[in-house]
Structures are given as C-alpha cells and as structure tokens.
Amino acid sequence: MLSAWDSTPGCEGYRRVGKVRHRSADTDSGQADRGYTAGLPSDPKLSRPSAPVQAIDTQVEAARHVLFGRVLPALRHALVGELQALRFGVSIVRASTVPADVATAIDRLGDQAGKAIARADAITRWFQPDEQASIAVGQAIGECLELVDTECQMRGILLAHDLDAGTSQVRSRSFCELLLASLLALGDDLSGAADVTLRTRQRASALWLTIRGDPADREGEEPRAALPRRMRWEDVDALARAHSIVLRRRGHRIAVRFPVVSKGS
C-alpha cells in the first residue's frame, strides 16, 4: 500500500503518465483510489503525451526491444532445461530392458513434452501477444518474477510480494510489460543490493500494483553478461502511455493502476 507515502510533503520528482479521465474527489472511485495515490501528482497536464505520436511509437518499440532482450535469456534457459529433461528421458527408454521401467519413462516423456511445449508457447506469447488476453494477477506476477529471479539474486535484490487480489483478471500484455519493465528499471537504478516489495490491492474496477525498493546491507554485483541496454524510466513511461495506463513514480516507489476485466473477456 502507499499509505507510507501519505506524510511525504510535496510531490517533487514524481512522474505520471498514461491517459486517465479525472473524477471529483468525492466520487466512490476517487475515495477508493485515495489511499494509493495520496501525495502523488494530479496535474492533468502530466497525463497527456507531450511528444508527437510517431515519436512515442518509436520510444515504445525501443522500450520493448530492451525488455525482450532482457527476458529472452531466461525464457531460452527454461526451454532448454525442459528439452534436456526430455532428451534424458528418451535415453532412459532406449537403454532400459525392463518393460515396467520403459512404461514409466514413456509416461514421463509425455509430461516433459507438455512442459517444453508450454515453455515454447510462453516465448511465442511474448513476441506475438494477444492484446485481449487476460490473466490472473497472481499468475502474471509469478511468471514475471521467474524471468528476473536469477538476475535479481545475482545483484542481491530480494523480491517479496503481498497479493490481496491474486485472482483478479487484468490484460496480460499491459500488466506483464509494465511489471517487468518497472522491476528492471528499478534494479538498474538501484546502486546495490535492495529489498523490493510488490503489493496488489483491488478497489472497485481498478487494480493497484505498487512496487517499492529499499537499499539493503548485503553483497550484490552487476550481471556478468553484457546487458543490451539498461531499462530507463523513460522506457517504462513510454509503455504506460502505449497502454493508456496510469503510472506514478517517486524515486524507487512506483504505483500503477490497471483496469480489472472479466475472465475470458
């Protein structure tokens, strides 16, 4: 929750992007959102893109290029792991002379093949996403954290989450892109080890995702492999504009508002 921000004087340094229809403070939605946005900017000028549409499109494509370059190694590693397990199962079938062992190994091959197909489908979804596809918040967060877990561990970044709306449905592409981009930008912006906490809360038809990073006293290091490019907050802002999502940030604290959708809609 963002209640810890309520006492923060002023709003210097905050960023807000995305298109949003403003409502009066005494409406139900305004009351519901207040606990998550207290102290954050409400200037409607900040919700309108200042750059031409063509320039914004270029920024979005550049941001996605960086994002895909960062998550592709994790996707590839997971797929290779499943294929290696499948190959190992085939070798067991070939070498075994006991019928019962062969039958057991064949059953396992079916499960391993299913996992490999699921991993391949995950890669396809990233590069050929369905704009209308929805996903449960808890599942989306689990999949995204899996993609950044190795890099975060290397950097000494511990990820924790508190899900109050894990079964709520959101648009898969916008949620996963903004969550991953925010986590990567936060990790690139932090100077060392840190504790990063994710929280989700649903209020009316809105799902609030908050991310907070706090420095931690432990060892951490930069990734050994060269990064294609660091994820910048400008990249995160561009993706938020592309999806017309409200995103607000101050330092290492981020709040993102997603519309909740019906399952299968």
For the chain, 265 residues long, the average pLDDT of each consecutive 10-residue run is 43 45 43 52 44 66 88 74 76 76 78 78 73 90 89 88 85 94 93 91 93 86 64 94 95 96 73
Bridge partners for 202 per DSSP: 207
Residue 159's closest CA among 186, 201, 197, 189? 197
What are the structure tokens assigned to 198, written together?
A: 């994710």
- Tell me the sheet residues that pair with 170: 135
Q: What is the pLDDT of residue 226?
A: 59
Give the tens place of pLDDT for each residue, 40-86: 545 444 344 444 455 558 889 999 988 888 887 777 767 777 777 77
pLDDT for 5 equals 45
**What per-residue confidence (pLDDT) applies to 136?**
93
pLDDT digits (tens, 9 = 90+) for 236-264: 999 999 999 999 999 999 999 999 998 76
CATH superfamily, domain 3-7+14-71+133-259, is Histidine kinase-like ATPase, C-terminal domain (3.30.565.10)
Query: Quick one: pLDDT at residue 36?
Result: 53
